[in-house]
Amino acid sequence: MLKIQGLILLFALNAWAASISSEPSIRVRIAKAIHDVNISGTDLVKTVSGQPIEQYYPGKKRFVFNCRPLKSLVKKNEPILLAKITSRTGLMEFNQKKYRGSLFLVSSYKGKGCDVINKLNLETYISSLLPKEMNAKWPLEALKAQAVAARSYAIHLIKTKQVKKTNGFETYYDLENSEKHQVNGSFFEVTYETSKATRLTRGQVLLPKSQRITPIFFHSKCGGKTRLPEQVWSNKVDGYSSVDCPYCHKHGVADWKIDIPKSRFDHALRKGMQVYQNKDIKSQLSLAPDDKSYPQLRLYSNDDVHLLKKSRIRSILGRKKAPSNYFKFEKNNNNSITLNGKGYGHGVGLCQFGAYEMAKRGYSYTDILAHYFPEMKLKKLY
């Protein structure tokens, strides 16, 4: 029985690997719920949904779409694909930025306007992402490490159709251009170095020992130790380790101290318990002694003990009040709480400032990835 299960798993893995034997394309939502859409370019081709015949417009052309009437026309809340626009000879312009590939016009959720989705080759996407997610002037080896991490995360979303599953309907995009997923730029934001880093790592991703596709996360600065996904979010992710990072402390945001009124902090604790654990606590709350290395706060209400992840507090207080999940609280005598922390961001996976320092010291991108992901291996998919 175990042998049969092993053969089934091997077959599934081989089928998955074969499905990405060539460079995939990616669909990126670059605008959400806007009322007026202007797309221009040279030698444009437009295809309207329900009309399979392409309309070709030689020379310069501008399309203007009024998306305000969609709210009354869309009978269902689910988005509708409205039109596709490509250029036979060059780039398309939207929001004063140039894009390659195709631009799709889709009705927004509940018909509140239009979403604009850019479909392009994955490697083109990665080269435009690097100058947005990492400084394009940083050492090449740091950019290469970032390219592998971002590509791995993107392929995870493409293959698992995570956005579609989360929404429960076809969204027509794989990820969005925002901090929720990843931030990418336009055609002219690509630099020689970001293009080179992409080319030299073409098709490379990080995979755990199981070889199953895995989301690879990254953040600005861990503050000295990376976190596990389950310490920050809800689910465990295969292949992650919490590692010490002696590299990032001289870069980025300095160690921080932020005072918060005790009443606001207490409100955040109660809201966190209510939202994330469905517990509406009315009695007085007290806190056990804390340390930066603890990923959770220990709360007491009467004789009950509760655990609340610090990441939940951060999501409620906001990034300005809690720049990272690596902090401890200190009670003050002036009816306030001081959050004493290090780092910036969620702290999971690749520490970007750590990668920067490692690259400056002569480490290769494979060394950098091996440090932050010791249980994972590089694999070239195409």
pLDDT in tens, 228-273: 999 999 889 999 999 999 999 999 989 999 999 999 999 999 999 9
* pLDDT surpassing 80 at residue 19: no
Mean pLDDT, range 134-140, rounded to an integer: 97
Q: Identify each DSSP E strand in the chain by its residue range.
A: 25-34, 36-48, 55-66, 81-87, 92-94, 97-99, 102-107, 114-121, 175-176, 204-207, 218-219, 256-261, 285-287, 296-301, 304-309, 326-331, 336-342, 350-351, 377-380
- What are the residue boundaries of the structural domains of the chain, listed by start? 25-200, 204-251+346-380, 256-342
How many helices (H) and strands (E) in the chain? 11, 19
Indicate the pLDDT class of residue 26, thresholds 50, 70 and 90.
very high
Give Cα separations from 52 to 40, 83, 84, 265 (angstroms): 21, 11, 11, 57
pLDDT in tens, 42-76: 999 999 987 878 999 999 999 999 998 887 777 67
Tokens of 256: 């921080």
Closest residue by Cα to residue 149 from 241, 248, 218, 229: 218
Give Cα separations from 18 to 22, 126, 189, 191 (angstroms): 9, 22, 33, 32
Indicate the pLDDT class of residue 189, thresholds 50, 70 and 90.
very high
Q: Output the CA angle 288-291-292, nearest 5 degrees.
A: 140
* pLDDT surpassing 90 at residue 17: no
Q: Provide long-range contacts, Cβ within 8 A and 24+ apart, for 135-138.
A: 135/356, 136/191, 136/193, 136/194, 137/193, 138/356, 138/359
* pLDDT surpassing 80 at residue 10: no
How high is the pLDDT of residue 282? Answer: 87
How high is the pLDDT of residue 90? Answer: 87
Indicate the pLDDT class of residue 207, thresholds 50, 70 and 90.
very high
- pTM equals 0.89
Mean pLDDT, range 9-31, rounded to an integer: 70
112 or 240: whose pLDDT is higher? Answer: 240
Closest residue by Cα to residue 374 from 354, 353, 349: 349
- As beta bridge partners, residue 293 has none
Residue for token digits 């009437």? Answer: 69
3-class DSSP state of 221: strand
How high is the pLDDT of residue 6? Answer: 38
233 DSSP assignment: S
How high is the pLDDT of residue 326? Answer: 92
* pLDDT surpassing 70 at residue 12: no
How high is the pLDDT of residue 128? Answer: 97
Q: β-strand 25-34 against 175-176: which pairing, if any? A: parallel
Percent of the chain with pLDDT over 90: 78
Lowest mean pLDDT among 12-16, 21-25, 62-66, 172-176: 12-16
Q: Label residue 114 left, alpha or beta by phi (over 0 means left) and psi (-120 to 50 means alpha).
A: beta
Mean pLDDT, range 329-347, rounded to an integer: 92
* pLDDT surpassing 70 at residue 331: yes
3-class DSSP state of 31: strand
How many residues are there in the chain? 382
* pLDDT surpassing 50 at residue 7: no
Say if residues 177 and 183 touch (Cβ distance below 8 Å): yes
Please provide the average confidence, as pLDDT, over all residues in the chain. 91
* pLDDT surpassing 90 at residue 171: yes
Residue for token digits 């990835």? Answer: 369
Give Cα separations from 230 to 60, 227, 296, 349 (angstroms): 52, 8, 11, 12
pLDDT in tens, 267-313: 999 999 999 988 998 888 888 988 988 999 999 988 889 999 999 99
How high is the pLDDT of residue 163? Answer: 95
Indicate the pLDDT class of residue 367, thresholds 50, 70 and 90.
very high
Closest residue by Cα to residue 331 from 245, 240, 261: 261
Residues 296, 313: Cα–Cα separation, whole Å? 10
* pLDDT surpassing 50 at residue 13: no
